[in-house]
Amino acid sequence: MNRPNPVSVGTIVWLASELMFFAGLFAMYFTVRATLPAQEWALGPDHLKVNQALLVTIVLVLSSVTCQFGVAAAERFQPRRTGALWQLSRWGLQEWITLTFILGSVFIAGQVMEYAELVERGLTISSSPYGSVFFLTTGFHGLHVIGGLISFLFVLGRSFSAKSFGHHEATTAVVVSYYWHFVDVVWIALFGVIYFLR
């Protein structure tokens, strides 16, 4: 009888607690929105650039795809590419996770640029209730993305240092992918609520 991997089960339980954390952030967002006069709330979303946010959202979603390719390589115990760099079908875990790390970093860079532009236009965490809920929800998500990027460095380090790439290294890649997909799904929900639900 195959028992579930305790590391995978533990990660899923932990992600359930993270889901509750983000549910609290969504509740805060909708509570502030419901109690704030409509004309005052409307001033906040006017500062946002939907096209710029859509671009970094696409980048983050693509990073989930590249992450899953990395997991597939890990599950076949292939830590590195077996062909030329341009032969994507021959890439291993290290190439796919490196690309995922780059895409995740581009998302964070886009978020930092957006924050700088919003502050320049006068929207800060203390400027209005809208500014508070915007920066808290997106900021906590950004911190989770940074946590995922650090985890990818750990996955890469483990794959480079392993004498023989096996189940432990593959399991590490799989559980980090759970976290990354979770962070991506949360962002899609945040993006829909913040940028489109006016």
Q: Tokens for 124?
A: 């800060």
Q: Tokens for 73?
A: 């390589």
Q: Provide CB contacts within 8 A for 6, sequence distance 6+.
A: none
pLDDT in tens, 49-71: 899 999 999 999 999 999 999 99
pLDDT confidence of residue 4: 66
pLDDT confidence of residue 168: 84
pLDDT in tens, 100-144: 999 999 999 999 999 999 999 989 999 889 999 999 999 999 999
> How far does the chain reach from its first CA to its final CA, in angstroms?
51
Q: Please state the separation of Cα 112 from the chain's center in Å.
A: 14
Q: Tokens for 188?
A: 């899609």
Place of tokens 């240092």: 161
Q: What is the mean pLDDT of residues 176-191?
A: 95
Closest CA to 178 of 54, 8, 26: 8
Which domains, ranges and CATH numbers included, belong to the chain? 6-196 (1.20.120.80)
**pTM (predicted TM-score):** 0.90
Residue 20: how many other CB atoms lie within 10 Å: 8
Q: What is the mean pLDDT of residues 95-104?
A: 97
Q: Is residue 177's pLDDT more than 90?
A: yes
C-alpha 45/C-alpha 26 separation (Å) is 16
Could you tell me which residue, 198 or 81, shows the higher pLDDT?
A: 81
| DSSP helix/strand/coil, 104 | helix
Please return the burial class of 65, using the count of CB atoms within 10 Å of its CB with bins 0-12, 13-18 and 19+.
middle
